[in-house]
Amino acid sequence: MSAPVAVRVRAVVVSRAAGLVASSLLLVVVVFLSLALGSRQIDLGSVINAILDPVSGNNDHMVVRDLRVPRTILGIVAGAALALGGTLMQGLTRNPLADPGLLGVNAGASLLVVVGITFFGVSTASGQVWFAFVGAAAATVLVYLVGSGRGGASPVSLTLAGTAVTAAVTSVITLLLLANLDTLNQFRFWSVGSLVGRDLEALGSILPFLLPGMLLALLLGRTLNVLALGTDVARGLGLHIGLARVLVSTAIVLLCGGATALVGPIVFVGLVVPHIARRIVGSDYRWILAYSTVIGAAMLVAADIIGRLVVPPGELEAGLVIAFIGAPVMVALVRSRRVGTL
């Protein structure tokens, strides 16, 4: 590598690293705002004291420690997982409009939650987590099996299989909900997508799946870069296509299944965040995955903050805020000439 080229490469790496640090600092700011803002405004000094030296009888400290810290942690973990899962889906299917709903994740999770409420009387978030995770994993595996032909699961076949399975599962969900109004009332809250009503106990039960999924996703950057060159070129470069797709799909199941189980089927985080990261760092998935982790966490926590402030003294669920922001972005992506460049 010649000296000018080496200098340019080094400059690009430094620039991207600096941008990642800046994004991380933004996430830290959003986290502090999440702990301070809401129907009860708490100054940053009290927030810091509540974290470092909490006073048991102090109401502000109790609000920060018992209510806002858990939902902020949930927002960070779920936002990062959804963004990473969306990035993997777009890389696997080479579909710029892919999100966790594409491979049946949301539909599968929703079906098992409905089944749990209807037939097993599951009414708590910690109980619904396991039904949602199993449903998301089963639906994704089914989509992969349906989309696998003789030549393996291609991006087009996975997309078509995901659409077909989602349509079929959605019809079953509708049938069960129409037959039981009590189920509809409970499912309605979960399906919106929210950080409210979830606790760290539920996170602890899903974390053993999310952490390996995040680690695997971050290690798949080079693999996605090769897959982006096309099947023939990737195979010519020595990539085992089938194994690569299985690894990416496994990470998607762990990330999207776990996140959907925790906070419900929140849309648009997995769709929008990878495009934001791609606009910043280009087409290198190693950097896209790193940026998506931070931006996804910041976006979901920020949406939760906005939801607390727009309709005081009540709250608007984070899933609704994300949908309000994400829908115009999706329309812009559909109309953009750059949509087909993955």
Instruction: Please tell me the total count of domains within the chain.
Output: 1
**Overall average pLDDT of the 327-333 stretch:** 73
| pLDDT at residue 3 greater than cutoff 80 | no
Single pTM value for the model: 0.91
**What range defines the domain where residue 202 resides?**
3-341
Alpha helix (H) residue ranges in the chain: 3-36, 44-52, 59-62, 69-93, 105-120, 125-147, 155-179, 181-192, 200-219, 221-227, 231-236, 241-263, 269-281, 285-309, 318-335
| CA 161 and chain centroid, separation | 21
Long-range CB pairs of 180-185, under 8 A, 24+ apart, other chains included: 180/118, 182/117, 183/114, 183/117, 183/118
Percent of the chain topping pLDDT 90: 40
Alpha-carbon distance of 230 to 326, in angstroms, equals 29
| pLDDT at residue 121 greater than cutoff 80 | yes
Residue 206 or 339, more confident: 206
Alpha-carbon distance of 294 to 299, in angstroms, equals 9
| Residue 58 binned pLDDT confidence (cut-offs 50, 70, 90) | confident
Q: What is the pLDDT of residue 168?
A: 93
Q: What is the dihedral of CA 149, 151, 154, 158, to 10 degrees?
A: 10
Do 67 and 50 contact (CB within 8 A), yes or no?
A: no
**Residue 90 sits in a domain of what CATH number?**
1.10.3470.10
- pLDDT tens sequence across 134-146: 998 899 889 888 8
Alpha-carbon distance of 334 to 31, in angstroms, equals 32
- 11-20, 29-38, 198-207, range with the lowest pLDDT: 198-207
**Overall average pLDDT of the 174-182 stretch:** 89
* DSSP at 337: G
Do 274 and 210 contact (CB within 8 A), yes or no?
A: no
Which residues have a Cβ under 8 Å from the Cβ of 245 and sit 6 or more positions away?
Answer: 92, 152, 153
Task: Return the half-sphere exposure (C-beta side, CA atoms, 13 A cut-off) of residue 150.
Answer: 0
Peptide bond before 70: cis, by omega within 30 degrees of 0? no
- pLDDT tens sequence across 213-254: 999 999 999 999 999 998 889 999 899 988 998 899 899 989
b vs e for 173-204, b when ≥16 Cβ sit within 10 Å of the residue's Cβ?
Answer: beebbeebeebbebbeebbbbbbbebeeebbe
Residue 249 or 306, more confident: 306
| pLDDT at residue 304 greater than cutoff 90 | yes
Q: What is the pLDDT of residue 220?
A: 96
